[in-house]
Amino acid sequence: MYTEAQAEYLLRLSDNINEGRLQKMVRAIVGANWGDEGKGKITDVLAQESDMVIRFQGGSNAGHTIVNNYGKFALHQLPSGVFCEHITNVIGNGVALSVENFIKEINSIVDRGVPKPHILVSDRAQIVMPYHILFDCYEEERLGGKSFGSTKSGIAPFYSDKFSKIGFQVNELYDDTDALKEKIARILEVKNAIIKNVYHKEPISADDMFSKLMEYKEILEPYVANTFDIVHDAAVSGKNILLEGQLGSLKDTDFGIYPMVTSSNTIAGYGAVGAGGIPPYEIKDIITVVKAYSSAVGAGEFVSEIFGEEADELRRRGGDGGEYGATTGRPRRMGWLDLVATRYGCKVQGATQVAFTVLDVLGYLDEIPVCVAYELDGERIDYFPSTTKLKRAKPILEVLPGWKCDIRGIKKYEELPENCRKYIEFAEKAVGVPFKLISNGPKREDIIYR
């Protein structure tokens, strides 16, 4: 728990959004849970006032759903600022760039009437190669019942290669083609040995790989820039910058439910690395998105998970038209709000304030269970343990009264039903960070500033 002095300090830090008017600073929007908290929506709401929106980690393996005046969109690779013409959108060096998804997404939003967005791709971003996707699929197939439940977007093989120093940075496409051919041949020698001997599949042709990279070179040409200096200049000249996170704290490679995590750091602190050009001390506001109940995709520890009809009903009513993965369409696993995991998730992010989302969904329940602590080997604990212990943790639930009405359309905090405010305040107290934004519907205007 936070002391009173700490709580006061956080309250002061979070006092920078006034009825949606943002003080100019570098601000991160990140998730406290397993992802799918509604970060896309919160980013879209706050993006309108921003000069720059930057994706700093992950790839097209997760999706943000955004509902605005152009319609409903699922973005996987593009920053959520693409709907506002005045925003510079940046794909930072920390991102796994799928060139095919990148261009497909630009075309798909432009085809639906969105003005052509302003997007820059860092010349230090690395490219998801076709063989990364193949390796992701082959490995999941090899693991069978022990698979990670990967979205098969090539993300784990991509980051493995990045840190093994055999990745392709975007700038390499515009360099000496002989050097590129030599590098492809060198890498494929090893990849093909694995493909042949471990996976028993067809080898990859170096010529095909080179042609693919030349295709990518042409596609990316209008977007590539030395974003490091552009971002740095914007940060130190006081522009409004949003760092947009993908997934959530519990999927972070270091702090999440390892090994059922993603292959990049999902935390705001990584924004200083993955966005490129942001001095760490400039990330002043860390809006951490917390979902009013829990959901998760893929395998991994999920202490407050629920099953059966109870879960089906929440899944059916959840999000905007049901809790199904934005990238894969898979039904999400469902659970009650886990305050142990959320408190930890907020600390991991360094949350300065919380955006509490999808609260409207809970309006059908007479009573709402929340997980307030865990039982571990017969003892009550209130910290989030490492994975080996987490596997044995059981939820300790408390039940709060429901509000039994539709809260969409409410604009003022005081107008929310009393039990709904009590639910928010109960969670806020347990998490220890001010809940300043309340999202009561999927649309841009469904937001309450507190």
Chain residues binding ligand GDP by CB under 6 A are 31, 35-41, 62-65, 67, 319-320, 326, 357-358, 360-361, 439-442, 446
* Contact between 119 and 179 (Cβ < 8 Å): no
Q: How far apart are alpha carbons 8 and 10 in whole angstroms? A: 5
Residue with tokens 């896309």: 40
As annotated, the active-site residues are: 36, 64
Tokens of 331: 């039904």
Tokens of 86: 């005045």
* Smallest gap from residue 183 Cβ to ligand GDP (A): 34
The CA-atom distances, in angstroms, between 433 and each of 13, 349, 350, 360 are 10, 11, 10, 21
Among 266, 355, 316, 334, CA closest to 41? 355
- Kindly report the CA angle at 140 between 303 and 102, in degrees rounded to 5? 90
- Burial of 6-36, coded b for 16+ CB within 10 Å and e otherwise, reads ebeebeebbebbeeeebeeebbbbbbbbbbb
Our CB check for ligand GDP shows the closer of 40 and 434 to be 40
Our CB check for ligand GDP shows the closer of 271 and 319 to be 319
Our CB check for ligand GDP shows the closer of 349 and 440 to be 440
Our CB check for ligand GDP shows the closer of 87 and 184 to be 87
- For residue 157, the SS3 value is helix
* Contact between 65 and 442 (Cβ < 8 Å): yes
Tokens of 259: 């090994």
* Smallest gap from residue 248 Cβ to ligand GDP (A): 8
In whole angstroms, how large is the CA radius of gyration of the chain? Answer: 22
Our CB check for ligand GDP shows the closer of 235 and 438 to be 438
A 10 A CB-CB count for 85 gives 11
* Smallest gap from residue 439 Cβ to ligand GDP (A): 3
* Smallest gap from residue 349 Cβ to ligand GDP (A): 13
* Smallest gap from residue 330 Cβ to ligand GDP (A): 12
* Smallest gap from residue 215 Cβ to ligand GDP (A): 29
Our CB check for ligand GDP shows the closer of 140 and 320 to be 320
